Chains A and B, each alone.
Chain A
């Protein structure tokens, strides 16, 4: 069973389009994250949701919006895509509120904006 699953795995789209990436975890975790990994492999946290509440919102453009219909899902919606949005986006989850737990990552979504 896949613990953290993301769809799609690959996404190629034109500038200006709006797209969504879906993430689901079946681990019963309370906290979910979105990370962006750039071409230099640097991982930057974008958002974190704990029990459907946004608790960390890094300085990402407001074109990016996380949406969590329930604690098992955290989708990432991106408006007006730009070339610089091209990256690999990873969803992750962990037991919320507990410091001594690791994060489990999805397979990643490689977004290419042309």
Chain B
């Protein structure tokens, strides 16, 4: 079964600092990759996704992520964070689970706190 690792549990940055959140997955076949954001007290919302093509994908609110197949990574970046980016960020992988069923597996999440 696939797994997703987010090594940064809690990241604290000042406004305007650059952000990079790590995500690594364990599945060796074709995968689809996602980053979701969960603002305090809210549900998960999609930030961006990678299915195929250009490994550098751009999402909403100035976020981008780069898929590096050789490193099994899909790191999230933003050049300049804002206080409103304070949230929990989840990396997710969509890969086969049992049989042909595909399962969306989430990493453990990274709490981002942006100080004003």
Residues of chain A at the chain B interface (Cβ within 8 Å): 33, 35, 40-43, 45, 48, 50, 55-56, 90, 92, 94, 99-100, 102-108
**Is B109 within 8 A of A41, CB to CB?**
yes
> Do A45 and B104 form a contact, CB below 8 Å, given A56-B98, A107-B43?
yes
**Is A42 within 8 A of B43, CB to CB?**
no
Which residue of B has the minimal Cβ distance to A108? B43
Bound Cα distance from A92 to B108, whole angstroms = 18
**Is B32 within 8 A of A48, CB to CB?**
no
A109 to chain B, nearest CB (A): 10
Q: Determine which of B34, B45, B90 lies in contact with A43 in the assembled complex, contact meaning CB atoms within 8 Å.
A: B90
Residues on B with C-beta less than 8 A from A90 are 43-44
A interface: dominant SS: strand
Bound Cα distance from A99 to B94, whole angstroms = 7
**Is B104 within 8 A of A94, CB to CB?**
yes
B91 to chain A, nearest CB (A): 11
B40 to chain A, nearest CB (A): 11
Residues on A with C-beta less than 8 A from B49 are 102
> Do A43 and B106 form a contact, CB below 8 Å, given A102-B49, A105-B44?
yes
Bound Cα distance from A42 to B111, whole angstroms = 11
**Is B108 within 8 A of A56, CB to CB?**
no
Q: Determine which of A33, A42, A106, A107 lies in contact with B104 in the assembled complex, contact meaning CB atoms within 8 Å.
A: A33
- 14 A/B residue pairs, CB under 8 Å, sorted by A: A33-B104, A42-B108, A43-B106, A43-B109, A45-B103, A45-B104, A48-B101, A56-B97, A56-B98, A90-B43, A94-B104, A100-B51, A105-B36, A105-B43
Which residue of A has the minimal Cβ distance to B98? A56
Residues on B with C-beta less than 8 A from A33 are 104
**Contact pattern, B 44-86, Cβ under 8 Å of A = 1, otherwise 0:** 1110010110000000000000000000000000000000000
